[in-house]
Structure 1
């Protein structure tokens, strides 16, 4: 046996349709996690490969979106755990696209926020993403990350405190 699995068209069509529906959202969510569009595309691809490998057991699942999100977050955390040394450094990155005129006021805030998120540990960044971007409950976040609700509460609290400290200068001018 060569290890190649033959797949019938209905199986493949179901997965293809699923990917067409969820890929744009997965890509945006992956960007929030990794902070780079190219890395986001890689994370989405690895996530979809993992889901495809289990697709024959998943088609009857009630919430494929939640399962896919869990796969993506856990993939992100496990890849970032202890592998900072293996990240490639781009010597000449491509320039960022020019913002639209109406977005100019928000660009500075966005850059600061993305920078602060990038400095967080992968698990901390995942918690912020799940709780405040995906709007999951504490219990749903705990199931997705694979920890207790108490851990989600305490870790999220510490992470928000860190973000407030790092972004404090951004909002101090508004309160004066």
Structure 2
């Protein structure tokens, strides 16, 4: 549609402050709200078929703002919950600190696994899920989960220098 620019300009001029206000109520920060509105507008007007009804477009942009905000909050929560698994501890380790060395070695070995293998290992041994539950979570077949777990156990055993029997 060749007239998208005038529709965009009209939406931003007429409803821009209301959209920023809506985003501000969600985020509590003016700069974050402005970024959220900009990203929502980019997503809405990045589509090839954009209508010219300002009310419909505003509703659509508001929905995109809400979805972006919720997704960002989920991502931040997930990061807070898992960041300790990836970030190195701040303390200085001494000569005899075997716990730190073991933790570092295991983290390094896990980082060498493929994303699916690592997900299967975490779900199986950390979340204590069964193979059918893991398959359901990942949206794949049980045989695929078993293959990922077997491959991961083999790689971990080789990297950590243990026999596979002690890993299982």
TM-score by length of 1: 0.45
Of structures 1 and 2, the larger Rg is shown by: 2
TM-score by length of 2: 0.47
Structure ranking higher on relative contact order (CA contacts 8 Å, 6+ apart): 1
